[in-house]
Structure 1
């Protein structure tokens, strides 16, 4: 009988641990994180532009994104992209300011990490009235921009 008691004790402990596990995942959701770009698609040369996204998960705005970084580059020149850190303002909105000094077609990709998920939507931004012959279609791999992110600084995500 003592052997049976000793064998059942670990089972009871495991069962107790398992029941507490449900509360450990509170706040985790199986719903995807969505990132809606709200930056204008057409802007003027040398005007201050607000790069902006709204981050949601289901019907809830995400106020606690780990990181939102905008990667911006001129068409055909992703190797010289700029990474611009966004700030949370309100209601799941993350913003940063920039100025486009030259006419052209630019790309903005919002590298967003929130609730253990990474989302990277991309948008074209036309600056001024660029010559169509100067536009190079973007055929870059969307993961290329990750190389520019400082992984030591962002390793806690």
Structure 2
């Protein structure tokens, strides 16, 4: 009988912990995710100024108080040489920066966004000019590579 009691004790403890977590988690409202929507055109011409732009929102509200929005830009297959470009808040939850791409190719921009206690990192492709498909190197970079470059920025 004592063996049965000892076998059941861990389940009782787990059940007790689970109900406490459920009770405490249910006391507040669910925090809505900060959404990042790209406004940047997916096509560009070489040497042309390109406006990197995202709109941040949380629920129906524009996010005007992001801690940081930094664009990481790199050519496909060459993430080790990415460039970090700090965005400025313009209005209505829109954060922008400018850059240019000197050579034809497939590029990526990743918006490292820190707002309201959340970090979101969506990525968009930008095709510059008419690159030869054979010249495009597959991008198998890990998103954590970009986080390593964020160390010099606030909030990281």
Q: CA deviation at 1:150?
A: 2.7
> Structure 2 CA distance, aligned partners of 1:90 and 1:56?
12
Q: Assess, with a 3 A threshold, how the Cα gap between structure 1 residues 144 and 118 changes in structure 2: closer, same or farther.
A: same
User: Structure 1-normalised TM-score?
Assistant: 0.78
After the TM superposition, list the runs of 4 or more consecutive aligned residues in structure 1 that deviate by more than 4 angstroms.
none
Could you list the per-position Cα deviations for residues 7-32 of structure 1 after superposition, in whole angstroms to 9, with x for gaps in the alignment?
Answer: xxxxxxxxxxxxxxxxxx9xx96100
Q: Secondary structure at the match of 1:150?
A: helix
- Corresponding residue number in structure 2 for 1:66: 67
Which runs of no fewer than 5 residues in structure 1 stay unpaired? 1-24
> Structure 2 CA distance, aligned partners of 1:45 and 1:77?
18
Q: CA deviation at 1:146?
A: 0.7
Which runs of no fewer than 5 residues in structure 2 stay unpaired? 1-27
- Corresponding residue number in structure 2 for 1:35: 36
- Corresponding residue number in structure 2 for 1:46: 47
Mapped pair 1:154 → 2:150: no
> Structure 1 CA distance, aligned partners of 2:149 and 2:77?
17
Correspondence 1:44-123 to 2 at 5 A: 44-123=45-124
Q: Secondary structure at the match of 2:126?
A: strand
> Structure 2 CA distance, aligned partners of 1:80 and 1:150?
16
